[in-house]
Amino acid sequence: MSIVIENAALKNNALSYIEDTIEKVPALVQLRTEAAETFASSDFPSIQHEEWKYTNIKKLVSNTYSFSNDVNVTAADIQDYLIEGTDVMVFVNGVYNASLSSFTSTEKVIVAPLSEAIEKHQDLVLAHLGKYADNSLPFVGVNTASVVEGGFVYAKRNALSETPLMFLNVVSGDNIVVQPRVLAVLEEGAQASIIERNAVIKGEAVLVNSVAEVNVAERANLSHLKLQDEVENTSLVTLSEAQQADNSVYHNITITTGGHIVRNNLNIALGEHCEGLMTGLYLVKGKTLVDNHTMVDHKMPNSYSNELYKGILSDKSKGVFNGKIFVREDAQKTNAFQSNKNILLSQDAVVDTKPQLEIWADDVSCSHGCTVGALDEEPMFYLRARGIPEDKARGLLIYAFAGDVIEKISNENVRALVEKIVAREMGYDLI
Amino acid sequence: MLKINDLKASIEDKEILKGINLEIKPGEVHAIMGPNGSGKSTLASVLAGREDYEVDGGDVDFDGEDLLEMAPEVRAQKGLFLAFQYPVEIPGVSNTNFLRTAVNEVRKARGEEPYNAANFMKEMKEKMQIVSIDKSLMGRSLNEGFSGGEKKRNEIFHMAMLDPKLAILDETDSGLDIDALRIVANGVNTLRDGNRSFVVVTHYQRLLDYIVPDFVHVLYKGKIVKSGTKELALELEEKGYDWIIQEVEGQN
Ligand SMILES: Nc1ncnc2c1ncn2[C@@H]1O[C@H](COP(=O)(O)OP(=O)(O)O)[C@@H](O)[C@H]1O
Ligand SMILES: [Mg+2]
Domains along the sequence of chain B with CATH: 2-251 (3.40.50.300)
Q: What is the DSSP letter of B187?
A: H
pLDDT digit string, tens, across residues B135-182: 999 989 999 999 988 999 999 999 999 999 999 999 998 888 888 888
Ligand nearest to the CA of B219: 1
Give distance in angstroms: CA of B197 to centre of ligand 1.
25
The reply to whether B109 touches chain A by the CB within 8 Å rule is yes
Phi and psi angles of residue B211, each rounded to the nearest 5 degrees, phi first: -105, 100
Question: CB B98 to CB A386 under 8 A?
Answer: yes
- What pLDDT was estimated at residue B134? 87
Question: CB A404 to CB B93 under 8 A?
Answer: no
Give distance in angstroms: CA of B82 to centre of ligand 2.
12
The reply to whether B72 touches chain A by the CB within 8 Å rule is yes
What ipTM was estimated for this complex?
0.96
Beta pairing, strands B223-228 & B215-220: antiparallel
- What pLDDT was estimated at residue A431? 45
Which residues from chain A sit within 8 angstroms of residue B77, using beta carbons? Answer: 387
Question: CB A387 to CB B109 under 8 A?
Answer: yes
Give yes or no for a contact between B233 and B208, defined as CB atoms under 8 angstroms apart: yes
- Candidates A19, A21, A12, A39; CA nearest to A94 is A21
Ligand nearest to the CA of B218: 1
Determine the Cα–Cα distance for residues A423 and B12; give it in Å rounded to an integer. 36
Determine the Cα–Cα distance for residues B76 and B163; give it in Å rounded to an integer. 10
Q: Kindly report the nearest CA distance between residue B102 and chain A, in angstroms.
A: 5
Q: What is the DSSP letter of B69?
A: G
Alpha-carbon A70 to chain mean position: 26
- Nearest CB among B73, B84, B102 relative to A390 is that of B73
- Nearest CB among A388, A397, A399 relative to B102 is that of A388
Give distance in angstroms: CA of B11 to centre of ligand 2.
15
Ligand nearest to the CA of B220: 1
| SS3 category, A82 | coil
What is the Cα gyration radius of chain B? 18
- What pLDDT was estimated at residue B201? 94
Q: Is the distance from the beta carbon of residue B40 to the nearest atom of ligand 1 less than 6 Å?
A: yes
Which residues from chain B sit within 8 angstroms of residue A379, using beta carbons? Answer: 88, 90, 93
| SS3 category, A253 | strand
- What pLDDT was estimated at residue A133? 97
Count of C-beta atoms within a 10 Å radius of residue A202: 15
How much is the average pLDDT of B122-129? 93
Which residues from chain B sit within 8 angstroms of residue A407, using beta carbons? Answer: none
pLDDT digit string, tens, across residues B6-38: 999 999 999 999 999 999 999 999 999 998 999
Confidence bin at B198 (pLDDT 50/70/90): very high
Question: CB B101 to CB A382 under 8 A?
Answer: no
- A212 has which bridge partners? A182, A240
- Candidates A160, A152, A163, A212; CA nearest to A187 is A160
Greatest Cα pair distance, chain A, in angstroms, is: 69
Question: CB B72 to CB A377 under 8 A?
Answer: no
Confidence bin at B247 (pLDDT 50/70/90): confident
The reply to whether B92 touches chain A by the CB within 8 Å rule is yes
- Please report, in tens digits, the pLDDT of each residue of chain A (431 residues total): 799 999 999 999 999 999 999 999 999 999 999 999 999 999 999 999 999 999 999 999 999 999 988 899 999 999 999 999 999 999 999 999 999 999 999 999 999 999 999 999 999 999 999 999 999 999 999 999 999 999 999 999 999 998 999 999 999 999 999 999 999 999 999 999 999 999 999 988 999 999 999 999 999 999 999 999 999 899 999 999 999 999 999 999 999 999 999 999 999 999 999 999 999 999 999 999 999 999 999 999 999 999 999 999 999 999 999 999 999 999 999 999 999 999 999 999 999 999 999 999 999 999 999 999 999 999 999 999 999 999 899 988 998 999 989 999 999 999 999 988 888 887 665 54
pTM score: 0.88
Q: Report the residue of chain A nearest B87, measured CA to CA.
A: A382
Strands (E), chain B: 2-11, 14-24, 29-33, 54-62, 65-66, 80-83, 90-94, 141-142, 166-170, 197-201, 215-220, 223-228
| SS3 category, B89 | coil
Question: CB B51 to CB A381 under 8 A?
Answer: yes
Determine the Cα–Cα distance for residues A399 and B115; give it in Å rounded to an integer. 22
Determine the Cα–Cα distance for residues B205 and A172; give it in Å rounded to an integer. 74
User: Angle formed by the axes of helices B148-162 and B117-130, to 10°?
Assistant: 120
B52-55 contacts: CB < 8 A, separation 24 or more? B52/A377, B52/B11, B53/B9, B53/B10, B53/B11, B53/B16, B54/B9, B54/B10, B54/B11, B55/B7, B55/B8, B55/B9
Taking only residues 190 to 219 of chain B, the set having a beta carbon closer than 8 angstroms to any beta carbon of chain A reads: none
Closest ligand 1 atom to residue B39 Cα is 17
- What pLDDT was estimated at residue B104? 96
